[in-house]
Structure 1
Amino acid sequence: MSKSIECKRSPRIINTDCVIAMALYSEDRAEWLRDAIRSILSQSFNDFVFIIVIDGPVSVDLKNALFTEVGDDERVGVFEFSENRGLSAAMNYAIEWSEFLTPKFFFRMDADDISHQQRLQEQIDFLKKHHNVDVLGSSLYEIDELSRQVGKRVLPHKHEKIKKMIFTRCPLNHPTVCIRYNVFKSGFRYDESLKNTQDYFLWINLMQAGFKFANLKEPLLHFRRVNNFYKRRGFNKSLNEFRARRLAMKKLNKYRFRYAFYAVSVLIVRMMPPPIIRFAYAIDRLLLRH
């Protein structure tokens, strides 16, 4: 292991079917982190390893909240990067570190979201029944800073509709995703050159390689949408999303004028003032409720 990575706590489990990975950043809030950890440790399905990667320096309060919440739970491993390397690097580290556990499923989790208590069980049950599905997401509820529900995001359930959507938007809610480990054994990883939209690019590459996707209709996660959400998206993220849409058309060999027009239109909207972006986002979320 690299000297820039320190193991703060190693899980005391030598074999599991299920690995959950979460990254922790300096901007995260202690109270939301506690809720996120509790939602995983109290899952109805409890045979898993929970890998938490501290991505660069964080406050003492955050670390205290983290180690207090995980307590002596033997399923939890904590690792720390000496400097911020980004979500892709954190996820790739969790994937590679946990390979010796011979897991079958890799779950994503974010430090400000809340997983439904049945999330792991429902996604694992689905994948055990549908062996052709390699990547499984779900719908989600959007919540505000006070954990009040403010929206709902529903995405296509079946592979063909997910494939059709990928030309205009990311077709999976990344924090809800479960990926079979055979995807990673085939050599695929998150692109560490990307500081955002890394999931979108990964889905495109996996779709080109022939992997199958699905989304569960039931919301299995509460996604935190904070007041500065529209500002945080930023031009760089918008530009990467534009590039992802172009890449999807190229790699999946499906050039359409409407896809190109949509990509350019979204990029233009994202450069407008926050109130306009907020309005456009509200319309988009309304469409995804159905």
Structure 2
Amino acid sequence: MAVYQEDRVEWVKQAVDSILEQTFRDFLLFVVVDGPLPSPILSFLQAAEQQTEQLVVLIGTENLGLSSCMNEVIERCAVLSPKYLFRMDADDISEVKRLEKQVSFFERHPHVSVLGTSLVEINEAGVEVGGRKLPLSHQEIFDFLPKRCSMNHPTVAFRYSVFEHGFRYRKELKNTQDYFLWIELMQAGYIFENLSERLLKFRRVNDFYKRRGFDKSINEFKARWFAMNKLKRYSLSNILYAVSVLALRIMPAKVVKLAYKLDRFILDKLVKH
């Protein structure tokens, strides 16, 4: 979990507590402080670290971005020989049995290396405002990938062996780093799955649509083209979709918001679970 200057202390506390209260107990929670933090957040994290051996706070003096934070944790925990690595954002809330259910799935399906879940979208007040479900099977995820990032990144768990084989997040990317990683792992032959259960509450804040700006739009377009190239999925449909979404992303936030809701509706119709 990476924490940033713009995060709210009450949200960080809910996120941390949701992990520390998990029914599955054999874990360490790494929180990376990515640059300067408001004193209430830093004080909470330092106090929480003193209260439990299951929380490790890594202090960074400058903002390096999520990719660097993830790679830092991957390197730090290598000496612990972990079996799994879980992702989460500092403004989200994991359901109490999230770790238990994802670990259990891994234990029963040793061929699966990357496992996500569905999620519930909540607003700033914690009220449910939507949901996001994605294709479940590896083949469905593969088929969707040239058009959509087929994993909810904050819900994802990895077998740590993925990283022992040298894979890392692209540190030069400030966004869409997960999309590129999925494509690289898919090309390398790793098996993906998604659970239908909504095991995370994803915080959709008021500026959610505004933050999907031009840089992110360009990177999403590059990722879709990268997927078509690496996975041999060139088609007129995939190319038109990539170009259409790029054009849409540069439109006003109200239009993007409407398109996002339409996309969720279409996805719900396409994904049967």
Matched, 1:101 2:57: no
Q: Is the Cα–Cα contact under 8 Å of residues 34 and 69 in structure 1 kept in the other structure?
A: no
Measure the CA separation in 2 of the matches of 1:68 and 1:109.
21
Distance 2:27 2:60 in 1: 23
Are residues 1:56 and 2:35 paired? yes
Unaligned runs of 5+ in 2: none
Aligned residues, how many? 269
Question: 3-state SS of the aligned residue for 1:67?
Answer: helix
Question: CA offsets per residue over residues 183-233 of structure 1, 9 Å max, x none?
Answer: 001100000000000000000000000000000000000000011000011
Residue in 2 that maps onto 1:255: 234
Aligned-pair CA distance for 1:61: 1.5
What amino acid maps onto 1:270 in structure 2?
Answer: R
Q: Deviations over 1:82-105 (max 9, x none)?
A: 111110000000011001111010
Report SS of the residue matched to 1:206: helix
Are the equivalent residues in 2 in contact too, given 1:152–1:288 (CA < 8 A)? no
Per the alignment, residue 10 of structure 1 pairs with none
Counterpart check, 1:201 vs 2:180: yes
Distance in 2 (CA, whole Å) between partners of 1:155 and 1:98 is 30
Q: Distance in 1 between matches of 2:132 and 2:49?
A: 30
| CA deviation string 1:107-128 (max 9, x = no partner) | 0011000000000000000011
Structure 1 residue 132 displacement after superposition: 0.9
Aligned to 1:4: none
Q: Tell me if structure 2 keeps the 8 A contact 1:38–1:69.
A: no
- Asked if the contact 2:48–2:55 (Cα under 8 Å) also holds between the matched residues in 1, the reply is no
Of 76, 93, 116 in structure 1, the residue corresponding to residue 95 of structure 2 is 116
AA aligned to 2:170 is: D
How far residue 32 of structure 1 moved from its aligned partner, in angstroms, is: 0.5
Quick check: 1:137–1:214 contact (8 Å CA) kept in 2? yes
CA contact (8 A) 2:18 2:93 kept: yes
What is the TM-score when the length of structure 1 is the normalising length? Answer: 0.91
SS at match of 1:229: coil
Equivalent residue for 2:168, pick from 189, 214, 218: 189
| Kept in 1: contact 2:49–2:57 (CA 8 A) | no
Q: What is the rounded CA distance, in whole Å, between the counterparts of 1:151 and 1:69 in structure 2? A: 31
Distance in 2 (CA, whole Å) between partners of 1:261 and 1:184 is 34
Q: State the one-letter code of the partner of 1:203.
A: W
2:194 aligned counterpart, secondary structure: strand
Q: Which runs of 4+ in 1 moved over 4 A?
A: none
**Residue in 2 aligned with 1:11?**
none
Partner of 1:13: none
For residue 119 of structure 2, give the secondary structure of its aligned residue in structure 1: strand
Where 2:25 maps in the other structure, the secondary structure is coil
TM-score (norm 2): 0.97
Post-superposition CA distance 1:39-98 (Å, at most 9, x none)? 000000011011111011111121123234444110111111111111000000001100
Question: Post-superposition shift, 1:24?
Answer: 0.6
- Once structures 1 and 2 are overlaid, which stretch shifts more, 203-212 or 63-72? 63-72
